[in-house]
Structure 1
Amino acid sequence: MRVVPIRYTTDVDAALRFYRAVGLEVGARSRPGAWVEMPGAAGMLALHRAGEDDAGRCELAFEADEPLAQVADRLRRAGFEPGPVVDENFGESLRVCDPDGVWVQINRHDRELYT
C-alpha cells in the first residue's frame, strides 16, 4: 500500500508547475486534464502530536533527498517564493505556498539527529 494524498485545486496547470518545481514528476493524466498523478520515489504518513486547535489538521509535506537550497532555487525559477531554509531538530525545512495559498512543507531529514 502507498499513501496518495489528493490535493484539490482550482488551477491544475499552476499546481502542476508548482509540484514539478518541488521535485515531483508528471505521471498519468486524464484527457480533460482534471487529474494528474505526480509520483515520487517514496512516500510516508507522519504522525505529529498536536494541541486541541490543531487536532485533525492535515498538512502536505515532502521529504527531499537533495539540498533544500536547490529546491528553493527551482521554486523561485518557477515563480514561487519559498520561505527560508530553517534548521530544525530533525534536519532542515522550508515552507512555501502553493497556487491556492495552501502551505506546503519540504523537509530534509538528518537521521543522525534523531534520538
Structure 2
Amino acid sequence: MTEPYGAAERLRRALEALGVVVDVHDGYGLALVSVWDGLVVWCNGDRFWWQAGWDEQCGRPAYASRPVSEVEEVARLVVARCAELRRVRFGERTDPEQVRSGEQAESPRAQADERATAPEPERPQGPV
C-alpha cells in the first residue's frame, strides 16, 4: 500500500497538468484532495474515491473508486466530474456549438429559485 499523502500529491500534480488547481490535506491515515465545492477525492493509500453523482433509486450519493496506480485515469475522471458540477451550478456548456442561436443558459440565480420552490420530499414518520 502507498502512503496516502504521496498518492494524493501525485493526483494533485496530474490534476494541475490538466489545468485544475487543488489543495491536499493529510491526517488520520487519509489524504483529501479538495477539488471544487462539493468535490473531494479521498485516498487511503490503496484507492482514490469521490462522489461521482447521485443514485436516484437509493436516494444517496454514488461513489467512484480507482486504485492509486490509475492516477492519470482518476485525474481525467475527476476533471470530468468537476466540469459536470460547474455545468449544473452555472449552466455552463462544454461546447459553444451546443448553444443554439437565441438560447441562453439558465442563470445560477434562476436555478436556485427553482430549487427553492421545489417541494421537499416527504420524511418517514415514526421511529427509524
Larger radius of gyration: 2
> Would you tell me which structure has more helix in proportion to its own residues?
2
Q: TM-score normalized by structure 2? A: 0.27
> Relative CO higher for 1 or 2, CA cutoff 8 Å, sep ≥ 6?
1
